[in-house]
Amino acid sequence: MKTFPIAALMFLFCLAPAHAGKTLDQVRQRAQLVCGVSTGVIGFSSADSQGRWNGLDADVCRAIAAAVLNDPAKVKYVPRNAQQRCTALQSGEGDLLSRNTTWTLTRDASLGLHFTAVTYYDGQGFLVPKKLKITSAKQLKNAEICVQSGTTTEKNLGDWFKAQGIKVKPVVFEKFEASIKAFFSGRCQAYTTDASALAFIRSKEAPKPDDYIVLPELISKEPLGPVVRRGDDEWFAIVKWGIFALIEAEEYGITQANVEQMKSGTDPAILRLLGSAEDSGKLLGLERDWAARAIKAVGNYGEMFQRNVGSASPLQLPRGLNALWSKGGLMYAPPVR
């Protein structure tokens, strides 16, 4: 219910005149990047007990703040729920939305937004109790499936089971906690959301993780990535290339630890990326060491992944599709040159 007055307010915000100035100027002027994040998705964006935001999405905010303001701490994190997120950004609230948001045609083409780049390739899966002895999502005939509202999840569910000719009953909850509680109390025979979140739910929320399994099927493509408002191509380019620089850093083996050292290396491509050779920052309206600052703040994409969702995190997600293209994954950055 809380989203309602807020969404209504957003509606009123549409009345305010559109910003004439550039996002970059505004960010510099207020010396702060306003970043829309989730209300708490472990591994992507969640606040710890000290109020520090952690996760892959939060690190994207940090990297952009470092590139633009030379300080990864100058970020104001604004938690947004699934319903608010796009409306808030459209209405001029925040510079960037970095909140596990799926890139779809409808969102890209009709919401006044631009998706910048993909930071995580996800897919929708199912979590089921082991004792149901189900091994495939195709066996979920007549099952009740708990799902949280405000995502692409409900539509994928509708599409996939329609295509399979199977009837299921979604039970849609507004709050994550309620949906989880209902599933673990046995109200539903399955829980569905993005596979990355299922791993977390199984390991952290289940009374006994071993009593539950994640089914092998992924029923959708969920490319997640940061979003910016339309109408500011320069800012769009900064966020996009900020992410590409982190991916390219992994390709070249530049890490948080060795970035300073690499600045005085011999590889022209690395020197170019780190601003020791040509000034790529000038083209984006940034300083020449913009990429080096971002890498120094959060590490390369691989380090971000390991720390937040990979082997060094509670989620223990495999790289899978999110490995570099040269290692069988989909992470590929256009060249920074």
Partner 1 sequence: MQGRRARQLGIQALLAAALLAALWWLLAVTSANMAERGIRSGFDFLTEPAGFAIGESLLAFESTDSALWALAAGLANTLRVALPAIAASTLLGTLIGLGRLSPNLLLRGLCAAYVETLRNLPLLLQLLAWYFVVTDLLPLGSRALQLAPHVFLSKSGLAMPWLGGESGLLDLPLRGEMNIVGGATLTPEFLALFLGLSLYTAAYVAETVRAGIQAVPRGQSEAALALGLTRVQLFRLVLLPQALRSIVPPLTNQHLSLTKNASLAVAIGYPDLVSVANTTLNQTGRAAECIALIMAVYLILSLITAWLSAWLERRSGRWAERS
Residue 236 CA to residue 227 CA, distance in Å, equals 9
162: which 2 tokens? 């329609």
Q: Nearest approach, Cβ of 283 to partner 1 (angstroms)?
A: 25
Q: Does 216 bind partner 1 (CB under 8 A)?
A: no
Q: Does 14 bind partner 1 (CB under 8 A)?
A: yes
Q: Does 161 bind partner 1 (CB under 8 A)?
A: yes
Dihedral angle over CA of 70, 250, 51, 84, nearest 10: 90
Q: Nearest approach, Cβ of 230 to partner 1 (angstroms)?
A: 5
- Closer to partner 1 at the Cβ: 88 or 331? 88
Map tokens 């800012």 to a residue.
Answer: 235
| The one among 3, 70, 276, 306 contacting partner 1 by CB under 8 A | 3
8 A C-beta contact, residue 220 and residue 152: yes
Give the H or E element holding residue 34.
strand 33-37
Q: Give how many residues touch partner 1 by CB under 8 A.
A: 60
Q: Nearest approach, Cβ of 54 to partner 1 (angstroms)?
A: 26
Residue 37 CA to residue 195 CA, distance in Å, equals 19
Question: Which of 58-66, 204-212, 228-236, 249-257 is the region at the interface with partner 1 (rule: CB under 8 A)?
Answer: 228-236
Give 181-238 as a 3 state SS string.
Answer: HHHHCCCCCEEEEEHHHHHHHHHHHCCCHHHEEECCCCCCCEEECCEEECCCHHHHHH
- Closer to partner 1 at the Cβ: 23 or 152? 152
Residue 101 CA to residue 74 CA, distance in Å, equals 23
Mask of contacts with partner 1, 32-71, x by CB under 8 A?
----------------------------------------
| The one among 216, 231, 328, 335 contacting partner 1 by CB under 8 A | 231
215: which 2 tokens? 């089914």
Please, which of residues 72-111 interact with partner 1 by CB under 8 A? Answer: 82-83, 86-87, 90, 106-107, 109-111
Q: Does 178 bind partner 1 (CB under 8 A)?
A: yes
Q: Does 22 bind partner 1 (CB under 8 A)?
A: no
| The one among 74, 138, 175, 272 contacting partner 1 by CB under 8 A | 175
Residue 133 CA to residue 44 CA, distance in Å, equals 31
Question: Can you state the angle between helices 23-30 and 233-252, rounded to 10 degrees?
Answer: 80
Determine the longest span between alpha carbons in the chain, in angstroms: 63
| The one among 138, 181, 263, 272 contacting partner 1 by CB under 8 A | 181
8 A C-beta contact, residue 282 and residue 238: no
**Residues with Cβ within 8 Å of residue 220, at least 6 apart in sequence:** 123, 124, 152, 156, 159, 160
- Closer to partner 1 at the Cβ: 78 or 271? 78
Q: Does 31 bind partner 1 (CB under 8 A)?
A: no
| Residues near partner 1 (CB under 8 A) | 1, 3-4, 7-8, 10-11, 14-18, 82-83, 86-87, 90, 106-107, 109-112, 132, 134, 141-144, 146, 149-152, 154-155, 157-159, 161-162, 168-175, 178-179, 181-182, 185-187, 189, 229-231
